[in-house]
Structure 1
Amino acid sequence: MTKPTLVESNEIFIIDYNKLVNIKHEIEPNNEVKKIAKDLREAFQYKKAVFLVNHTISKEDENKVYSLIRKFSALPNPIKEKYKSIINTGYHGYTSQQSERINKDGLIEFKESYNIIGYNRYLPDEEISEFSKTINTITEKLLNISNILLQLFAISLDSCK
């Protein structure tokens, strides 16, 4: 007898975005959506893995973002510093290596990052053409996915009443 796969044993929960793309907040969800919402809640409740498939983020989208990251990372530090994140302004912008502390004992973070918060913020379009356009397109897709997932959570919580 073969051992069941993680999917068969319900250790991994798979959500097919195609089944959810038309969820509307004001419309009563159908039974399939209610079941997905219930299963999603249980997956998170019992620490199972959750995978989202058919989510509209293509490999090409992924490659475009990684390309932007590589291009930005390759810029000279003085140029990157023009886009530096300003404390207490929503964390939008560039954070250089060793500029963040991990804990109160002074352990230093060695990563550099570029946090993008919102649309049409100060982005390095001057140095990297299409930066804003690419980021905004992918951000729109991610927001759509996030909204669907939030609606699923709302449906699952509503079913707990």
Structure 2
Amino acid sequence: LKETGQPSKEAFRKVASEIHQAFSQIGFVYLINHGISKEQASSIFQKSRDFFLLPLEVKEKYKRLPNHYDGYLSPDKEILQSGVQTEMKESYSIGNSESIFPSQEDAPGFKQTCLDFLSPCVALCRRFLVVLALSLDLAEDFFLKRHKELTKYKENPSSLRILYYPPVTNVTDPTTVRCSEHSDFGTVTFLFQDSVGGLEVKTKSGEWIPATPLEGAILVNVGDLLAIWSDGLYPATPHRILVPREETKKRCSRSSLAYFVLPDDIVMVEPLDGSNRFPTVNAAEYLSSKLKTVLTYI
């Protein structure tokens, strides 16, 4: 999927077939040769880690506001599963150049590094949406038409989310996790992991298996809306990140980058085979309803 010349139709269809196989079986796939360099990922990991190590009062200056998709979220502002009291993670979300960013004084180079990384993510997403359509025997532009405004926050909530999981110390609540069990809300998610690992994926049989980081690979997974479009053929597979059992891993922080791809706000999503297994939903309304259940500050 590298943007180096125009791949042949055969190449597109070969990748589409591989996507179909992985998505229909588990809802996740490793993507390689995607065109985003190791250096680009390393740069944003470093800049984001510098930001997350700032004092909380500094980070809170850029906190995410109700009914907004960008900005900083401190620990426990998002709980993804009922019954969980603590999720040990922080995040910072951006959608475009007009998003909330920390000042150059507080976080030198943070804004530009994020924007430099977001641009190739958007380009990769557009190429992937073509392959995704082919994997379901749809017109090449089916998903492109429904994700026209990827960089316009007022029309499309797709965003790059930088996640930081601090070292785990003095945990007494047995429900504490780094990220509780959930499925993603949109079309697909592109996940860049560091080498620490910890992500687990739930198989159809109910077994939890590790999604081990592969150097240079992006992990792509199906979101709820794609599951609806595909009438469940592509499942939105639950995943989680538990507190590590090993003391050495507990003392390690973890970082990841997630580019959440969602349809334009006006898009109506329904099963493409005409079934009534899933109800028709509006993309914006579906996201809003989901966020109200997981964000504790709304």
Q: TM-score, normalised by structure 1?
A: 0.72
In the alignment, what sits opposite 1:136?
115
Change (3 A) 1:105 1:152: same
Distance 1:66 1:146 in 2: 20
Structure 1 moving runs of 4+ over 6 Å: none
Deviations 1:34-77 (A, max 9, x none): 23212321221123863322222222112211111111112111
Counterpart amino acid of residue 18 in structure 1: K
Does the Cα contact within 8 Å between 2:74 and 2:91 map onto a contact in 1?
A: yes
In the alignment, what sits opposite 2:6?
22
Q: CA deviation at 1:153?
A: 0.9
Q: CA deviation at 1:19?
A: 7.9
In the alignment, what sits opposite 1:125?
103
Counterpart amino acid of residue 99 in structure 1: K
Deviations 1:60-109 (A, max 9, x none): 1122111111111121111100110112212x111112333344446122
> Which of residues 37, 62, 67 in structure 2 aligns to 1:83?
62
Counterpart amino acid of residue 72 in structure 1: F
Distance 1:48 1:20 in 2: 27
In the alignment, what sits opposite 1:153?
132
The structure whose Rg is larger is 1
Aligned residue-pair number: 139
In the alignment, what sits opposite 2:23?
44
Does the Cα contact within 8 Å between 2:73 and 2:92 map onto a contact in 1?
A: yes
Change (3 A) 1:88 1:19: closer
Q: CA deviation at 1:154?
A: 1.0
In the alignment, what sits opposite 2:92?
114
Q: Which ranges of structure 2 fall in alignment gaps of 5 or more residues?
A: 140-272, 274-298
Secondary structure (helix, strand or coil) at the match of 1:108 reads coil
Distance 1:43 1:98 in 2: 33
Bigger CA drift: 136-145 or 45-54?
A: 45-54
Distance 1:49 1:104 in 2: 24
Q: TM-score, normalised by structure 2?
A: 0.42
Counterpart amino acid of residue 71 in structure 2: G
Counterpart amino acid of residue 157 in structure 1: L
- The question of 1:74 aligning with 2:53 is answered yes
Counterpart amino acid of residue 29 in structure 2: V
In the alignment, what sits opposite 1:12?
none
Distance 2:30 2:42 in 1: 20
> Quick check: which one's strand share is greater?
2
Distance 2:50 2:3 in 1: 36
Secondary structure (helix, strand or coil) at the match of 1:98 reads coil
Q: CA deviation at 1:159?
A: 5.8
Percent identity between matched residues is 29
> Quick check: which one's helix share is greater?
1
Counterpart amino acid of residue 10 in structure 2: N
